[in-house]
A and B are shown apart, each in its own frame.
Chain A
Amino acid sequence: MHLQSLLALGIALALPLGGAPASPQESQIAYRVKVGFLFNFLRFADWPPSALPADQPFRLAVSADDATYAFIESTFAGKSVDHHAIIVERASLREDRPAPHLLFITRSAPPEMAQAARRYAGHPVLTIGETDGFARRGGILNFVQVDEAVRFEVNLAAAERAGLRISSRVSKMAILVRPEP
């Protein structure tokens, strides 16, 4: 079951890497794993209490096409982490919008989202991308494809700057990257 899902994931991920746009079906399969990872990241990352007071919901901003966004939103619907209800919202870099707790910038995100890392630098926002070099350019986590398996890179310096504590249990599994100078 696990192997099959991995294979399916591999096939699903191979296609967008090949440059062809992913079909909604394929996107769902590929993002099922990544959403699982996202959920796990929530369990292994700690936000400063000031950024996530006890009675506040957990704001998860997603920058993706509609299908992917819908899939993610449906997946997290009704879920909570550490007694914080998870609220999925569309990512926005606007200054008047408060910074979310987690920002997932998918491959289908608009180009201006490339500024997100810079926009939220120093803010307790767990920025997660899935494009090559995202972590090196200031993102905290970045999904990568290694030997047909989904792995992720982590930029611990960025996480530290953001005031987030990434559990060593995650960083152990991650590919550690250094930010570009």
Chain B
Amino acid sequence: MTRLPDPGFEPRIAGWLEADPDQAPREVLVTVLAAYPSIPQRHAPRVPWRFQPMNRFVSMGAAAAIVVAVSLGGVLLASRGSGPGVGTQPPTPAPTATSAPPPVWPLIPDGTYLGPEQPVADILAQLDADLSLSDTNRAAIADTILGIRGATTYQTKIELHGSSMIVSSGVDGVFAPEGWSIRSAGGDLLVASGSSSAIAFRVGGCDGTRDPCSFTLRATEPATSAIESFVRRITFETGPFEPQP
């Protein structure tokens, strides 16, 4: 016996599928926008795939930096979301129910923020003490990734302009002309909220805190390698980023 087609079947399937979410969480786009500039496109024919052999450690370092910049950048950009007066609640779910809405902090203003100036001798001492690193990794971090061998100080600079964030590192006060650029998803960033004296926000697996003028960053997701763990600690997690005049 041939079964008669059920005229209601297709609408029911379509209706059931329609009920699923249509909007991607904001961090999906933030992650993509942060990561794709570091990914080489497949080249057209007759163009050499790579003009110079890339030092293995340079690529490792770049990868580590990108991972850090992506995750921490998500935190920072999230805190630069809609300003006061917008009246929206944080889209991230609150961990506990509260009777009053959390305070909404103003945007982190555009400008240049500097992390603490770290003596290179201290960094090298930490490098030697880190047993998770091999001698080869230590040399790569000091000579290539951070490039601090023979220098005196190391510092991280974060520049915020609109919805973009550029991270660069400085050795002896000289900052590399090229940094890692992070772009936000647009004007609909998260509203950061928190307690009275410090703000807490969590995006992309990282935690950040800020007071009205400065901010600190701390990744909460495990690093994918010992090199990445060390580099992100030195570059991002050593202290507050203070605004510069």
A and B co-occur in one complex:
no
